[in-house]
Amino acid sequence: MLSRGVEVGTKVHRRVVEVGTKVQRRVVEVGTKVQRRVIEVGTKVLGRGAEVGTKMFGRDIEVGTKALGRGVEVRVVVVVVVEVVVVVVVVVVVVVVVVEEDE
C-alpha cells in the first residue's frame, strides 16, 4: 500500500480509504471515484459535500442531480419549452378595377 490506514485491496494515493476504493484524496467510502474528500459511496464529483450518485462541478448538490452550481435539488430537470404557435392568416384581396373610359 502507499500509505498507512488503508485496508486490503485498496488503490489510493492518500490515507483513510476503505476497501475497493480508488481515490486521490482522503475520507472516501467504498467504491467511490473522486478527486476530493468527504464524498459518499458511488459518487463522481469534482467538489466536496456531494451525496450518493451525484455528478457535479460545484458543491451541496443532492442525489441524482447534474448541476453546474450549488443548491440544486434532487433530479430537477427544468426544461422551459415555450411553444408559440403563430398562425399567420394572409388574406390577399385582389381588387381588380377595370375602368373603361368611353371616349
Number of domains in the chain: 1
- 70-80: pLDDT as tens digits: 433 334 344 44
Q: Is residue 6 part of a domain?
A: yes
Q: What is the mean pLDDT of residues 74-103?
A: 52
- 4-23: pLDDT as tens digits: 444 444 444 444 444 444 44
Q: Is residue 103 part of a domain?
A: no
Q: Is residue 95 part of a domain?
A: no
- Give 41's pLDDT tier (boundaries 50, 70, 90): very low
pLDDT at 45: 43
Q: What is the DSSP string of the chain?
A: --SSS--TT-B-SSSSB-TT-B-SSSSB-TT-B-SSSSB-TT-EESSSS--TT-EESSSS--TT-EESSS---TT----------------------------
Q: Is residue 27 part of a domain?
A: yes
Q: Is residue 55 part of a domain?
A: yes
Q: Is residue 93 part of a domain?
A: no
pLDDT averaged over every residue in the chain: 45
For the whole prediction, is pTM greater than 0.85? no
pLDDT at 62: 44
Q: Is residue 60 part of a domain?
A: yes
Q: Is residue 17 part of a domain?
A: yes
Range of the domain at 15: 1-78
